[in-house]
Amino acid sequence: MLLTRASEYALLSLDVIRKSDSPIGTEQLATELSIPKSFLAKILQSLAKQGILESRKGAHGGFILIKDTTDISVNDIIFAAEGKSPVVFDCTSYANTCPNGTIGTCSISPFLHNFQSKIDGFLNGLMLSDIL
């Protein structure tokens, strides 16, 4: 699968958070979306680190959106949630076992790059406001 649950949870969370003016806590989000609190906490943390959300500690703390939904691409969200952009097939992670060591230059490389750029283009051009 191209995406993991991290992306699913991130997108579902952002759909709730964007509708609120005040911060929403992990606890509340987890309950409302019926998803594990601990896992969600890590994802929200990552979104905050990437500047998509702002986190507020203490009582009445939680997470709020600090960008306009037209300024956040779906790729940004996935990257933050998963720690990397979605990839078709990562040759580099197999570098040591790549047949003949022809990494990036084998017979299927052109296809992989073409495919990858199609996906990148799609996700970078798609804004959060387009899908929610």
Partner DNA sequence: GTCCTAATAGACTTATAAGGCTTTAAACTA
Partner DNA sequence: TAGTTTAAAGCCTTATAAGTCTATTAGGAC
d(CA 71, CA 124): 11
Does the protein bind a copy of itself through residue 107 (CB under 8 A)? yes
**Under rule CB under 7 A, residue 5 binds DNA:** yes
Greatest CA span in the chain, whole angstroms? 58
> Counting contacts by CB under 7 A, is residue 61 touching DNA?
yes
Taken in order 22, 26, 32, 33, the sign of the CA dihedral is positive
Which residue, 23 or 116, is less far from DNA as judged by CB? 23
In the set 19, 27, 104, 132, which binds DNA (CB under 7 A)? 27
User: Is 118 among the residues that bind a copy of itself (CB under 8 A)?
Assistant: yes
26 with 36: CB under 8 angstroms? Answer: no
CB of 12 to DNA, least distance (A): 12
**Is residue 35 classed as helix, strand or coil in its secondary structure?**
coil
Site string for DNA, 67-96 (x = CB under 7 A): ---------------x----------x---
How far is residue 61's CA from residue 63's CA, in Å, rounded to a whole number? 7
The answer to whether 4 contacts DNA (rule: CB under 7 A) is yes
